[in-house]
Structure 1
Amino acid sequence: MAAPDKIHLTVEDTGIVPFKPQSTAAAERTSELLQENHDRHHIYFNDTGFHNHIAHHLLTLYGLGAPASAIERHYMQNASYQRPAVLLEDSVVQDMAASPDHFKTYLGQGKYYRDFLVFWQKEMEKKGWENVLNEYLFAGDERADDLLTRMYSGFLHPLIHLGFGIEFHQPAIIAEALAQAATHDSWTGDYLLRVEKASTSPSTKTLPQLLDEIRADKKLSTAAWWSDPNKLRDGTLGRAADEMIRYASQWTVSPGELEKKTAEMTNAAIYFTATAQNPPKQVKFDFYYMHCVNASVFFPTFNAQSWLSEASKIRLLKFKGYVDLAMYASRRSPELLLDEVAGYAPVKSEASETDWKGIFRRLCEFDDDGHAIKLGRAVANGQRVSKPYEEEEWTRIKGPMWEKIGNMVIDSVEDTGNHWARSVGFEEAWKDYEDRRPREIRL
């Protein structure tokens, strides 16, 4: 049975994107590998803060029906460059639990990842993971707001990790997500809470409308500079925070709108990620936009949680929309070329290679750290949640465009050159990443 310190998948734990049934052998082996990752590895594999994606990767493969042998192969390739996680001192966990003020002193420091992991496991053992999340993320007090907004830091990685834990019913993965959030910095929270405060009345503006307005605002759309180490923090929010807050605060979610607004957020994230192309150059996806899509897949799961209030679900969704709008601006708001999707011709000609079955098979075989198959699964989820709303003005991606985007994903990473379009920043850290990964799967 799954527990705060124990990974245990069953053949029913295959997530929300149905594709192929799983085997008991794959459930057992994936559980063993995830447990090894949980017990041995740090959530960051270098001092810059690059994330360990093994849990994301293996759960996505497992959810799409990959066999145990393929899951093990991907694990071994990406476990090779992880670093160990150890407790600094036994007393740290006790001190974290002593008082909220003591807890606060450890936040934002990656060296305390393992200590936070043990802290959250102990809390879950006493209270249950649902109660821990309600207390530490959704209580609405200063401590909960701080940790909730840290979930959206690191280009949404803690939120993605939390989503996998809840979707696949694994409290140990949820504990990892909380520990990851606690060790991230807090600057994203200032932006999110300022937008929330500025959003004082319901608005009819849709995300695609706001994307167009952001692009038309020259101060905001050019606020990020090529030389900025972090284009969202130092560019968009560093030079045009008031403008960014003004636009983001116009996207609102009211009670009763969760399903529709979740579809809008999902469709919009895929829209600006897939159509931000630069012909006649190769089709490539922006590495940072991709995370907005990969995080979108979890919101139907969040919305389905009976222990979570509607107000908390709305807040989770609004914050995601605020981040997506800022992320779009942070790459200098590129022109969104819908015809590049509508007119896309897949590289492969056989239907067996270009339908979702073929796309997922190719993605399961593709060697990387999991970003590509996560993107493919999230696009397939976008098709599912958008289908009831194809007549809405904000539904820019619809009909045959979904499989076209799926083909764009796998074709682009199988193509020559870098797998992703990546702006400068963290060059030395990324070189270190490439140097540490096995040569045959370097990005």
Structure 2
Amino acid sequence: MLIRVLANLLHPLIHVGYGTEFGIPGMVAEGLAMASVHKSYSLTFLPSSLFENASMTVVEESTSRLTSPLNRKTSIVPLELDQPKRNHALFILAKIIQDPQFAPEERQKYFNAFKKLVTTRGADIWRYTEQWTFDLSQPGEIERKMEECVWTITIIYAIGGWSKEKGFTANVFFAHLVNSSLFLPSLLSYLSQDAQVILLRAFFTMGLAWWISRGGPELDIQGFLDATDPFISSEGEASSNANPFLDTIQSGFTHPDGHVLKIMRTFAHFSSLYGVRPKGYFKGTELEGAEALDGSLFLRAARLTEEFMSPMTSDWSASF
């Protein structure tokens, strides 16, 4: 059932997420119903080993929490914690990039071929993502791993969508990864700890698979930052406006495509949580250029999206 919730470009997860965020049981039921009936050609993508370390009560406990009134949830909030680099999500992404079997020319073979990818390379992707381990003895580990997911997905969307030759392209598939990540906090707050780990690892795996299935676009972090510096102040922080997202949110309200406002809301939310992360926060993750990243990434991504989805374009791209 988990893979069904993550299939169909994550739409079941999004519907369930809306229900848990706003306390609407009907939307939770709608999302689960959608997951139950749509076709899924990736049912074997997530191996049974993902569930082997979980207790036998994960399903029962999580189901009980979801079926109880949707106001009994634990808080999932960002903590000011040291950021360990071992087993970091960006470290896993870097390892995949360095693997010859996922070299750029190999990744291109799976462009627009998600089914082929999960059938032929699903085990190889999982071999990497199972190295993304959790140390639940550390305070705030779930919050930390959720943040790693958010940064990874945002990097894939914003930096993966940019190139020196073509500039930025707002990819519709990556946009759904971003929009669905907004619901991780509300979903995790209703789950047992074992189920939280399972959901995060499955979501991370699916994000990597979608990146590869779109050709695994290059992640030129330094080039991206240099090109998008005009969107922020010279100090590398958000502009001096009281809320630098105000204009982008306003443009989203009037845009004919509802996904634009959704992604602006997502970037604004995660900027409020992680926008103060300084340069050097990702030093040691082995992802080339990651040490130059800071919390301005979310504002850069929002403004690039606003620019691309102008009235002259007004539609997402399925390619680059």
What is the correspondence of 1:341-360 to structure 2 with a 5 Å cutoff? 341-344=225-228, 345-346=230-231, 355-360=244-249
Question: Of the candidates 299, 303, 319, which is equivalent to residue 403 of structure 1?
Answer: 299
Report the alpha carbon displacement of residue 388 of structure 1 after superposing the two structures with TM: 6.9
Provide the aligned length of Structure 1 versus Structure 2: 269
Match of 2:77 in 1: none
1:374 aligns with 2:262: yes
CA contact (8 A) 2:178 2:263 kept: yes
Question: Of the candidates 143, 163, 185, which is equivalent to residue 278 of structure 1?
Answer: 163
CA distance in 1, matches of 2:102, 2:314: 28
Letter of the 1:414 counterpart: S
Report the alpha carbon displacement of residue 326 of structure 1 after superposing the two structures with TM: 1.4
Match of 1:92 in 2: none
Using the size of structure 1 for normalisation, the TM-score is: 0.54
CA distance in 2, matches of 1:332, 1:247: 18
Match of 1:334 in 2: 217
Structure 1 residues 154-180: Cα deviation after superposition (integer angstroms, max 9, x where no partner): 111111111011101111111110111
CA distance in 1, matches of 2:252, 2:240: 16
Match of 2:271 in 1: 383
Question: Of the candidates 247, 252, 255, which is equivalent to residue 363 of structure 1?
Answer: 252
Structure 1 residues 274-305: Cα deviation after superposition (integer angstroms, max 9, x where no partner): 00112232421222122111111111112333
Match of 1:206 in 2: 88
Match of 1:414 in 2: 310
CA contact (8 A) 1:159 1:295 kept: yes
Match of 2:101 in 1: 219
Report the alpha carbon displacement of residue 151 of structure 1 after superposing the two structures with TM: 0.2
CA distance in 2, matches of 1:260, 1:267: 11
Match of 2:28 in 1: 174
Alignment RMSD, CA only? Answer: 3.1
Letter of the 2:184 counterpart: F
1:237 aligns with 2:237: no
Higher RCO (CA 8 Å, separation ≥ 6 residues): 2
What is the correspondence of 1:34-113 to structure 2 with a 5 Å cutoff? none
What is the correspondence of 1:2-17 to structure 2 with a 5 Å cutoff? none
Question: Of the candidates 147, 153, 169, which is equivalent to residue 269 of structure 1?
Answer: 153
Report the alpha carbon displacement of residue 194 of structure 1 after superposing the two structures with TM: 5.0
Q: Secondary structure at the match of 2:23?
A: coil
Structure 1 residues 15-65: Cα deviation after superposition (integer angstroms, max 9, x where no partner): xxxxxxxxxxxxxxxxxxxxxxxxxxxxxxxxxxxxxxxxxxxxxxxxxxx
CA distance in 2, matches of 1:259, 1:227: 32
Letter of the 2:113 counterpart: K
Structure 1 residues 346-398: Cα deviation after superposition (integer angstroms, max 9, x where no partner): 59xx987x921111001111111x22111111112222332575434467642
Q: Which has the higher helix share?
A: 1
CA contact (8 A) 1:273 1:286 kept: yes
Structure 1 segments unaligned to the other structure (5+ residues):
1-146, 425-443
Q: Secondary structure at the match of 2:46?
A: helix
CA distance in 1, matches of 2:273, 2:147: 6
Q: Which has the larger radius of gyration?
A: 1
Structure 2 segments unaligned to the other structure (5+ residues):
55-84, 233-238
Q: Secondary structure at the match of 1:193?
A: coil
CA distance in 2, matches of 1:292, 1:227: 18
Q: Secondary structure at the match of 1:398?
A: coil
Question: Of the candidates 236, 246, 249, which is equivalent to residue 127 of structure 2?
Answer: 246
CA contact (8 A) 1:263 1:385 kept: no
Q: Secondary structure at the match of 2:164?
A: coil
CA distance in 2, matches of 1:336, 1:198: 34
Report the alpha carbon displacement of residue 152 of structure 1 after superposing the two structures with TM: 0.5
CA contact (8 A) 1:206 1:251 kept: yes
Report the alpha carbon displacement of residue 404 of structure 1 after superposing the two structures with TM: 1.9
CA distance in 2, matches of 1:214, 1:373: 32
